[in-house]
Structure 1
Amino acid sequence: MQLSGKTVLVTGGTDGIGAQLIRQLRDKGATVITQGRNAERCAATKADGFEVIQADLSSQKGVDTLLAGVQGRQIDILVNNAGAGVDHDFREAAPDLAASDATIFLNLNAPIRLIAALMPVLKARPEAMIVNVTSGLAIAPRAGGPVYCATKAALRSYSQALRHQLQGTTVHVLEALPPVVETKLTAGRGSKKMAPDACARQIVAGMESNAEEANVGAVKVLQLVHSISPKLARKIMIRF
């Protein structure tokens, strides 16, 4: 896909991978609208010249706020990038179920609801794309993050089914699967992490090439291992 001249809506674009995505997409000539929930980061992103809608996508209210902010706009590309993890490890403590529910909404329900609401807009464009950012953990989970892994696996399955549904239309579906990236979400989880700008660069390349999947960094190796032995991939990742 030629990104220049396209209008792109990127959720979670004020931090981490998203902050790099919006800048690289702008450098490609795209008009970028983004969303964040932290007021300070939203203000900083606005100061950098971006259109930012402040909304918390862990609830329907936040989804409605974002949709109201883009009402009437011609969106060519929707990038569902916003996501969060949550502590849910019975070996350490009883989980906070309210926090788990909010994470499930943010990571899974919000992308589905945004896709459903914006599908008529996307289908009306000559060329459109939905980019769902999942994770290498959608392929094989780790024991310490079952809710996060489950939401990303669910969004992966949704993306695959949606891609089949949209065959023959102008809407392409790309799933981006990052590895562990240096963000607030992964703070304290080891030292071998991918830089956000390098991760974003591979996702943008996947968009430009109309790929069905963008396996980023070490996820390429994980996909190879999984193709040979799903059991081995699960054994490796469960302890990660």
Structure 2
Amino acid sequence: MRLSAKTILVTGGTDGIGLALARRLKLAGSTVIVVGRNAERLAAAGAESFEAIEADLSSEAGCTALLAKVADRQIDILINNAGMGAAFDVTAPIDMADVDRSIFLNLNAPIRLIAGMLDPLRNRPEAMIVNVTSGLAIAPSAKAPVYCATKAGLRSFTTALREQLSGTKIHVLEVLPPVVETRMTEANPHKKMPASECARQIVSAMEKGRDQANVGMTALLYAAYNISPAIARRVMLRY
């Protein structure tokens, strides 16, 4: 897909992978609308000439509000990038409110936004839905069971959605990043990919019309899983 002259909505677009994506898509000639919930980061995105929309997508009300705000826009590409982790350790108290927010933001919100934007996307000459999952959607880590579950759920949804939309003008791309340098991964001790490089690989996959983008080390994990799912799971559970 040619990305010039496209209007693209990026959730979680004021920080990390989302902001890096917005910058690269803008360089490609797209009009980029970024969505976030932090006022300071929204203002910074606005200073970079992005249209910035405030919305908390960890709730039904936030998703409904965002859909209302873009109802009259001709959006060509929806990128569901917003995500968050939630601590779930059986040896410590569990904050179920935080768990519920994570599940909603990571899984419910993309489904709701897709459902709300299907008709407008169908009316575009060509359109795309990009769902950002994770290498952890292939094999989970015991340190992040909620995050892994939501990303695995979104991966399954994306596969089924792609089949439903086959033969239409809407292309569906799943992106599986490795550990990337973002605010969310600050405490992660593993080697991290720069967000700019992750964005470069995602945009390349969009331009090539790929169904799946295994970014960075995720490509090795995907290959290992195809050879031996059991070994890949054992390794990643300890990751």
Q: In the alignment, is residue 147 of structure 1 matched against residue 132 of structure 2?
A: no
Matched ranges for 1:201-212 at <5 A: 201-212=200-211
Per the normalisation by structure 1, the TM-score is 0.98
Q: Distance in 2 between matches of 1:89 and 1:208?
A: 40
Tell me the equivalent position of 1:138. 137
* Equivalent position of 1:33 in the other structure: 33
Q: How does 1:59-208 map to 2 (within 5 A)?
A: 59-91=59-91, 93-208=92-207
Shift of the 14–216 alpha-carbon distance from structure 1 to 2, 3 Å rule, reads: same
- On the 8 A contact 2:140/2:237 being kept in 1, the answer is yes
Alpha-carbon deviation of 1:191? 4.0
Corresponding residue of 1:232? 231
3-state secondary structure, aligned to 1:72: coil
Which residue is equivalent to 2:6?
Answer: 6
RMSD in angstroms over aligned alpha carbons? 0.7
Contact 2:8 2:76 in 1 (8 A): yes
CA distance in 2, matches of 1:207, 1:221: 21
TM-score, normalised to structure 2's length? 0.99
Q: Which moved more, 1:56-65 or 1:18-27?
A: 56-65
Give the fraction of aligned pairs with identical amino acids, expressed as a percent: 61
2:76–2:126 CA contact under 8 A, matched in 1: yes
Paired with 2:94 and 2:197, the residues of 1 have a C-alpha distance of 33
Moved over 2 A (4+): none
- Structure 2: how far apart are the matches of 1:188 and 1:239? 16
- CA displacement, residues 86-131 of structure 1 (integer Å, 9 cap, x when unaligned): 111113x121111100100000000000000000000111100000
How many equivalent pairs are there? Answer: 239
Residue 20 of structure 1 corresponds to 20
Distance 1:47 1:65 in 2: 23
Per-residue Cα deviation, 1:57-106 (whole angstroms, up to 9, x for no partner): 00011112211211111110000000000111113x12111110010000
Q: SS at 1:121's partner residue?
A: helix
Residue-by-residue CA offset, 1:139-170 (whole Å, 9 max, x unaligned)? 00000100000000000000000000001100
Alpha-carbon distance between aligned partners in 2 of 1:94 and 1:147, rounded to the nearest angstrom: 15
User: Which residue type is aligned with residue 44 of structure 1?
Assistant: A
The amino acid of 2:206's aligned partner reads M
Amino acid at match of 1:31: T
The amino acid that maps onto 2:56 is D
SS of alignment partner, residue 131 of structure 2: strand
Give the partner amino acid of 1:38.
Answer: N
Report the 3-state secondary structure (helix = DSSP H, G, I; strand = E; otherwise coil) of the residue aligned with 2:106. helix
In 1, are the aligned partners of 2:179 and 2:190 still within 8 Å (CA)? no
What are the Cα deviations for residues 9-35 of structure 1, in whole angstroms up to 9, with x where unaligned? 000000000010000000000011110
C-alpha separation in 1, matches of 2:230 and 2:23: 39
SS at match of 2:110: helix
Read off the aligned partner of 1:55 and give its amino acid letter. A
